[in-house]
Amino acid sequence: MQNYLEFNFKISPLQPWNEILMAELIEIGFDSFTEEIHGILGYIQKDAFNENDLKALPLFENENVKIEYSFQEMPNINWNEEWEKNFSPINIDDKVLIRAEFHESVPGMHEIIIQPKMSFGTGHHPTTHLMIQQMMDMDLQGKKVLDMGCGTSVLAIYAKQQGAGDVKAIDIDEWSVENSKENAERNGVTLDIEQGTAENLGKENFDIILANINRNILISDIPTYVSVLNKGGKLLLSGLCFFDVEDILEVCRENNLELKKQLQREEWVSLLLEK
């Protein structure tokens, strides 16, 4: 079992910066959070922490928010086990249920069953919720799908369950790749899962690309996504706050993508685009 550091972040004002900070912390290795009245508690494995990475986060340079933090080393306990105790099912519009094996099934709802370990992408975050909402209205039948930054592969699994053809899932994190393989097997679907980034994408083309990552990576990688997206194909993006939308759309327009649908949940947004 790994030793963890617990960070206490004081955030002023709290909204929408607490969610944005969590998204940035995930990119440098933080893997679980607890929301507090005046901020958040964030947890990271001691061996994975680099204070220079923390101090370099863009949010610390933002004049619109003040962030202070302190940290302490936590006892050597099984944090995955502790996290599981507080994992609750996710209900998306009374149509899709993301649950663990130890939760009861709900008749009439489409189910995705995952092993709830400390990971972004379980469905609790608004962006995962938005992606599933968008996908519920998409024609996935027989489509070749790519899930970039797959996390637990909830989106890839849902695509396959909804009749998609070949589905590839890519994540930079080795643990996410292993957990994705477990979750695919748990749901009885076959996925092509690999560790990497957009640099993994070669000449293989896709009908639908799902990318729930963050603003900076999306801006960098959208041209690559477009290069492997079939004509008439769909690019579904999230990991964006409402104030990121115009910057993202500018890059999309430069790459001949047309906005088809935009959804917002709290301060988070998803964009459906077509090539």
List, as residue ranges, the binding site for S-adenosyl-L-methionine: 128, 149, 171, 212
User: What 8-state DSSP symbol labels residue 203?
Assistant: S
Query: Residue length, the chain?
Result: 275
Contact partners, residue 175, CB within 8 Å, separation at least 6: 119
Q: What is the DSSP string of 106-127?
A: -TTSEEEE----S-TTSS-SHH
CB atoms within 10 A of CB 81: 10
For 71, residues 6+ apart whose C-beta sits below 8 A from its C-beta are 5, 6, 7, 8
Q: Which of 196, 195, 243 is nearest to 215 (CA)?
A: 243
CB 41 within 8 A of CB 79: no
Q: Is the dihedral of CA 153, 154, 157, 159 positive or negative?
A: negative
What residues form the annotated binding site? 128, 149, 171, 212
DSSP 71-107: EEEPPS--HHHHHHHT---EEETTTEEEE-TTSPP-T
Specify the pairing of strand 110-113 against strand 96-99. parallel
